[in-house]
């Protein structure tokens, strides 16, 4: 895709940091800073632990498994040093290392924003993105930090932004138009990106040559366009489309959040409240599934069906585990309150 949920994860995280901790940073600087850094250390510990666990796991896999041939560390020492320095990540929890670094810098960012110097944050973040997003090994941090810190600024001013957006009818109409453009572009992009290769690689035996040639041309255009939406360096095109889609989806969910929460029976709210636990659990499950599932050279119906089935089962299992974890946390909190 030209944008993904990964970008949404970082901007939402940034928005929450700005919205929750922003008002506290000036009158409770030390306490707020320590709380954020405690979160950063937890993220760092999880990132290192997952990388070492998955590396050890993959190193013991026999030949023939997809993960047995994709280990990136050349030695045990390189794996440990790389994991500790966050220059080496392995598995499905690579976002945690980036998030940890961003949270480490969050207190200073919040302080600058609270001092009405958000422009400094945006300029520095923009320059880091511009100058270092293609420099190894820091590109994953330099490219993605611009999303997180933009989110922190948005989160700090979120009540004001929402209020200003609804002040006049013209602004309301402009926001509605933006939502329509966002949803329409999302649907059209999903069709353009997903359908041609799926048809070309999966059903080429039942499509005549003329249709195949047309699909080949479309797929060629598609591949050329995707170059401008690079994920690793977070290109301008990807940032623009991601921002457009996020505004649209945020507006829709914000407007209908009560109905959505009611219809989803609180499932989405629960998963959002324990997002780090959910992310860590799904990372473990996905790595496990990815280890044992057979590889495929291209999309095909049986594999897609199997993947979908595993996806549904994994989502169900994650919800059950999260619900149990939430109950345990609630009981533990109540016991602490009683003993205090």
pLDDT, tens digit only, all 340 positions of the chain: 778 888 888 999 999 999 999 999 999 999 999 999 999 999 999 999 999 988 888 877 776 666 655 666 677 888 889 889 888 888 777 889 999 999 999 999 999 999 999 999 999 999 999 999 888 777 889 999 999 999 999 999 999 998 888 887 888 888 888 888 988 888 888 877 767 666 665 555 455 666 667 767 777 777 788 888 888 889 999 999 999 989 888 888 888 888 888 888 888 888 888 888 888 888 888 888 877 776 655 555 566 677 778 888 888 999 999 988 888 766 656 666 666 5
Q: Supply the pLDDT for residue 333.
A: 64
Residue 82 to residue 76: CA distance in whole angstroms: 10
Taking CB atoms within 8 Å and a gap of at least 24, the contacts of 107-111 are 107/25, 107/29, 107/32, 107/33, 107/36, 107/37, 109/149, 109/152, 110/17, 110/18, 110/21, 110/22, 110/25, 110/32, 110/152, 110/156, 111/25, 111/26, 111/29
Q: Supply the pLDDT for residue 29.
A: 92
Q: Supply the pLDDT for residue 302.
A: 67
């Amino acid at each position: 895709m030209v944008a993904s949920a990964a970008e949404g994860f970082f901007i939402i995280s940034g928005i929450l940091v700005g919205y929750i901790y922003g008002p506290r940073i000036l009158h409770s600087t030390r306490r707020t800073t320590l709380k954020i850094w405690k979160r950063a250390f937890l993220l760092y510990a999880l990132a290192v632990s997952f990388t070492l666990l998955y590396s050890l796991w993959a190193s013991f896999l026999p030949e023939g498994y997809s993960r047995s041939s994709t280990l990136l560390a050349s030695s045990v020492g390189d794996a440990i040093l790389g994991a500790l320095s966050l220059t080496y990540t392995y598995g499905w929890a690579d976002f945690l290392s980036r998030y940890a670094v961003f949270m480490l810098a969050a207190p200073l960012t919040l302080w600058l924003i609270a001092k009405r110097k958000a422009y400094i944050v945006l300029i520095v973040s923009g320059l880091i993105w511009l100058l270092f997003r293609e420099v190894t090994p820091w590109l994953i941090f330099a490219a993605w930090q611009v999303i997180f810190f933009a989110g922190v600024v948005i989160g700090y001013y979120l009540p004001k932004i929402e209020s200003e957006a609804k002040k006049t009818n013209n602004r309301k109409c402009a926001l509605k138009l933006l939502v329509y453009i966002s949803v329409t572009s999302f649907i059209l992009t999903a069709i353009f990106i997903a359908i041609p290769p799926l048809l070309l690689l999966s059903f080429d035996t039942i499509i005549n040559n003329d249709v195949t040639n047309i699909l080949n041309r479309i797929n060629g255009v598609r591949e050329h366009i995707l170059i401008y939406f690079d994920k690793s360096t977070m290109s301008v095109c990807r940032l623009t489309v991601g921002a457009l889609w996020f505004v649209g989806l945020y507006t829709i969910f914000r407007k209908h959040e009560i109905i959505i929460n009611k219809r989803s029976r609180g499932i989405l709210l629960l998963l959002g409240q324990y997002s780090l636990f959910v992310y860590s659990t799904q990372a473990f499950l996905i790595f496990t599934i990815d280890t044992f599932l057979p590889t495929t050279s291209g999309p095909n119906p049986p594999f897609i069906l199997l993947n979908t089935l595993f996806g549904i089962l994994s989502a169900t299992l994650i919800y059950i585990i999260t619900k149990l974890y939430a109950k345990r946390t609630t009981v533990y909190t109540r016991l602490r309150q009683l003993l205090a």
